[in-house]
Amino acid sequence: MPAFALEPEQQAWCAELRALSADRLRPLAEKGEPGRVNRPLLAALGELGLLARLFTSGALDLCLMRESLAHGCTEAETALALQGLGTCPLVQSGTAAQRDRWLPEVTTGRAVAAFALSEPGAGSDAAALSLAAAPDRGGWRLTGEKCWISNAPEADFYTVFARTTEGAGARGVTAFLVPADRPGLTGVPLDMLSPHPIGALAFAGVPVGPEDILGEQDRGFRVAMNTLNLFRPSVGAFAVGMAQAALDATVAHTAQRSAFGGPLKDLQSVAHQVAEMATRTEAARLLVYAAASAYDAGAPGIARTSAMAKLLATETAQHVVDQAVQLHGARALQRGHLLEHLYREVRAPRIYEGATEVQRTIIAKELYA
């Protein structure tokens, strides 16, 4: 018996999500414009109840959703995940008034959320951020830039992390909920290797007040880390979903494709490669599930296990997709092929929400603590 196994109800739910992803969400994704928010896709996620479930389920449910959707439609997975990432600080740390204003809009897919942490000079080193919050008439004025923000500049509101106390490092950061129509807030899209929107934001004295704070003043870094600790295993689940899609395509291709007098699967070198891909994918999946289950149980060492799950799963997915492309040959690099799509999609998760090197640093720090 495996060390970790899903309940039959969970397995059935995952199968249902894979079918929905391929049959209902994929056609909507294909009608969308690359680099733009696909609002009909978001509306469908809301209608299916998946956006609402984001905020009423645990970490394991989040992982199962992301893995299952990614298998059939990475765009649907990403749209769901970005709504969760941008809104999770509101759910965990927002006031009743903030939640009443925005949660119904998010869960129906009418409002688009964004998580605005990264800056031109503070990506993985989030504690070094410099977006300044200068005191002003009982509130603050935000001045500076954010960069590589998913859903920018099309989001309807942003979870923004700004420096309210100079020289305090992580202890001087405050999280704010900033509606997109605030005066002084502008954004531009960035042309990235990604089908979803990514942009840069400029803050020219954007006004915020105490009613816009998420959590407590100067405690925003903890808001960010709580969100990332929840979402890091699910980034791994996204990667596992892509790896499984690549693996499934490779099994089918090598069973059907003839070369050197027989199907590719009869070549030991090919069969062994596929076996290795399958083993790595399953190992990554189990670590992701274990990390998510530990988070749900409130177990100690969440930062370490979350980092391990994201590290192993994203690196594994890169390897599996690359091997799948190699075994498919030139056809896999043709525009529109599943593996051409996955080859582009699989690279970014090794960087965002803490690059691979950052995950290794977190793990090592925990080991030597």
> Looking at the annotation, which residues are catalytic?
353
209-215-218-224 Cα dihedral, nearest 10 degrees: -120
Residue 369 is encoded by which pair of tokens?
């603590």
DSSP-based three-state secondary structure for 369? coil
Residue 197 is encoded by which pair of tokens?
């929107």
Please answer whether residues 335 and 97 qualify as being in contact, where contact means their C-beta atoms are separated by less than 8 angstroms: no
For 87, other C-beta atoms within 10 Å of its C-beta total 29
166 CB-contact burial (10 Å; exposed 0-12 / middle 13-18 / buried 19+): exposed
Pick the closest to residue 209 from 181, 174, 168 (CA basis).
Answer: 174
Q: Whole-angstrom Cα distance, residue 343 to residue 194?
A: 11
